[in-house]
Amino acid sequence: MSALAGKTAIVTGASRGIGRGIAERLARDGALVAVHYGRSEAAARETVRAIEEAGGRAFAVHAELEEPDAVDTFYAALDAGLAERGAGPGFDILVNNAAASGSGRIHELTGEVFDRLFAINVKAPLFLVQRGLDRLSDGGRIVNISSAATKRAFPESVTYVMTKGAVDTMTPALAKELAPRGITVNSVAPGYVATDMNAHRRTTPEASAALAAHSVLNRLGTPADIADVVAFLVSDDARWITGQCVDVSGGYKL
């Protein structure tokens, strides 16, 4: 039997990159996956199509997480999608992957960018958990996507790193709070992964090689590298792990 058979999983920001990799992996393990997207409906539909063609089950959920009513919009769309499939309204797994980047250095920062990054990267995952607690199964799993950049000085994107630092402190707090229900809460911290988010850093072979050199394994990560670790954390094999941040950076700057 598949490891996640009978489970329902939510993956935010799942239309591309790491989120898509996670959604595809959890579907392959047997979960019904809610593929959340913010702006790219076509990309989300493509992720759903790929999952279904591989024999999995998935549906798209739309909500722009920077909006004030984002959580209401999200759960309304989730409920509708689950009802169409004769499931829900509960779920078993929440992967808070959606994130915005691009804050720049301190002298480049604007209040608008600061507010947007904290709304998407911090406020949305926190309130998705809060509003989802009466839906999340006892013994459920929450995985937050952090960043290896929080372990080193990263002035190139100061606000982005601040948001991921907030994720790192939120994770153990939620783990302790939700432990009586058997819910585990962990985070994973990728390094440089070959996705659209850092495509502007990989415009030449030399630039890609420079990013790869941050890993002692001397390559960029792939979405599958991250998805495999998330799949472990949401499985029963990880039942005794909670409140932890798992580094999945290929040895970032060791």
**Catalytic residue set:** 160
What is the spatial distance between Cα 61 and Cα 74, in angstroms, rounded to a whole number? 7
Instruction: Match 């591309």 to its residue by tokens.
Output: 16
What is the spatial distance between Cα 38 and Cα 36, in angstroms, rounded to a whole number? 7
- Residue 152 corresponds to which tokens in the numbers above? 């080193």
Length of the chain: 254
What is the spatial distance between Cα 154 and Cα 137, in angstroms, rounded to a whole number? 37
C-alpha dihedral (18, 248, 203, 44), degrees to nearest 10: 0
